[in-house]
Amino acid sequence: MQLNRRNFLSLGAAATTIPALGTSTQCSKPSTFPKEYFLNWGSMYLQMPWPGLKNKFKFRVIADTHFIYFDKRDEQYADNYARMGLNQKAKLPERLPAPSMYKLEDAIATAKKNKLDAIMLVGDILSFPSIANVEYAKKRFDDAGVPYFYIAGNHDWHFEGLPGSSDDLRKEWIEKRLKPLYPEGVNPLMYSKVVNGVRIVAIDNSTYLINEEQLEFWKTEAAKGDPIVLIMHIPLYIPGAPKGYCGSPHWGAAIDPYWRIERRQRWAEKATPETFAFRDAVLSTPNLAGVFTGHIHQAINMRGNGQNMFSVPSCGGHPKQRYLDVTMYGA
Ligand SMILES: [Fe+2]
């Protein structure tokens, strides 16, 4: 494929240093590796050379497939998934999978053929936690034949209109429904695994907030020194990015656009101190190879404090841009 300015980007040249935010501590340790990556959104691939990496590590990042499958088993929640189910209430009690609608099948069926070492599923794979959605996703993940790493998005655990805080509802629906989608035995809010010399760290920021335990977990994992691929659902904030990103000083009730539509509690007044500290800690981690998120349904890359962050488009939302294939290799 011919490269042009639009779809070629050498990321190294765009390094910036982020200023301290009003509510956060300053990032004090800039990146020590060059992190000169090659990204091609046209073909959806990213190459990340990494000093000293012995084996190749190839992975695919998939987000926001937003499954809307349900059946009689969830009839009692019909009102809670009617809107995200694209107002299919008239067709209740059953909406069965329509494979042509979504492209997770393609993205996963080619995983083995493409010799992937892992698949990262970075949230909003489901539009709500119906039994049919979870079963459908689980079957596809298992069919991939390669290890997969799932972390929830804000919709995965959300049945609209149920009472309770985001924190409580996340806990409840992960336990009731989403548990089978995670690697066995992990803590769904934070876990890590080393594959081919690369540490995959999964952190659930689907409430837009980070708690104390997650912050400590990040610090412990980061201190281990091996190259880290961080997967989360919501992108981290850097100055200039949209105000609603994770760790934004602008995030809060005043700019919550959808709380009435999504029938949930309004965002807190502002983010927790741990959220700001987490953002700063991540952006100050010299062994961080990259941050991979979804949520915004668009292909973007951001660079802050010398770190590279990527959000992948909604899988199925565009005929070609369905996921990002990443290769890490020794440099
Ligand atoms: Fe989302």
pLDDT in tens, 101-150: 456 777 888 888 899 999 999 999 999 999 999 999 999 899 889 999 99
Could you tell me how far CA 159 lies from the centroid of its own chain?
20
Distance 120 CA to ligand 1 centre (A): 15
State in Å: Cα 314 to ligand 1 middle. 10
Distance 207 CA to ligand 1 centre (A): 10
Per-residue pLDDT, 271? 98
How many angstroms does the Cα of residue 235 sit away from the middle of ligand 1? 10
DSSP-assigned letter for residue 175: I
* CA distances (Å), origin 244, targets 50, 197, 224, 231, 257: 31, 34, 31, 18, 10
Residue 15 has which token pair? 């390094």
Bond prior to 49 in cis (omega within 30° of 0): no
Q: What separation in Å is there between the alpha carbon of 119 and the centre of ligand 1?
A: 18
What is the Cα gyration radius of the chain? 19
Which residues is 40 bridged to in the sheet?
Answer: 45
Q: How far is the CA of 201 from the centre of ligand 1 (A)?
A: 19
* Positions in the chain whose pLDDT score sits under 70: 1-34, 86-103, 317-320
CA of 228 to the centre of ligand 1 (A): 23
Distance 322 CA to ligand 1 centre (A): 16
Residue 246's pLDDT is what? 98
CA of 125 to the centre of ligand 1 (A): 9
Ligand 1 centroid–CA 330 distance in Å is: 33
Between the CA of 257 and the centroid of ligand 1 the distance, in Å, is 13
Q: What mean pLDDT value characterizes the chain?
A: 85
What distance in angstroms lies between residue 81's CA and the mean position of ligand 1's atoms? 15
Q: Residue 311 C-alpha to ligand 1 middle, in angstroms?
A: 11
Q: What's the gap in Å between 51 CA and the centre of ligand 1?
A: 33
Residue 116 CA to ligand 1 centre (angstroms): 25
Q: How far is the CA of 325 from the centre of ligand 1 (A)?
A: 20
Map out the domains of the chain with their CATH numbers.
16-68+104-330 (3.60.21.10)
**pLDDT of the residue at 35:** 73
Ligand 1 centroid to residue 32 C-alpha, Å = 32
3-state secondary structure of 288: strand
* Distance in Å, CA 208 to ligand 1 centroid: 10
329 phi/psi in degrees, rounded to 5 = -150, 160
The C-alpha angle 102, 261, 158, rounded to 5 degrees, equals: 55
Closest C-alpha among 174, 226, 180 to residue 200: 226
Give residue 153 CA to ligand 1 midpoint distance, Å. Answer: 5
Please report, for residues 112, 147, 191, the alpha-carbon distance to residue 116 in angstroms, rounded to integers and kept in the order given. Answer: 6, 9, 21
Q: What is the DSSP letter of 126?
A: B
Q: 28 CA distance to ligand 1 centroid (A)?
A: 30
Ligand 1 centre to CA of 233 (Å) is 7
Look at the block and give the residue holding tokens 């959605």: 133
| Ligand 1 center from residue 293 Cα (angstroms) | 10
User: Ligand 1 centroid vs 296 CA: distance in angstroms?
Assistant: 7
What does the pLDDT read at residue 21? Answer: 35
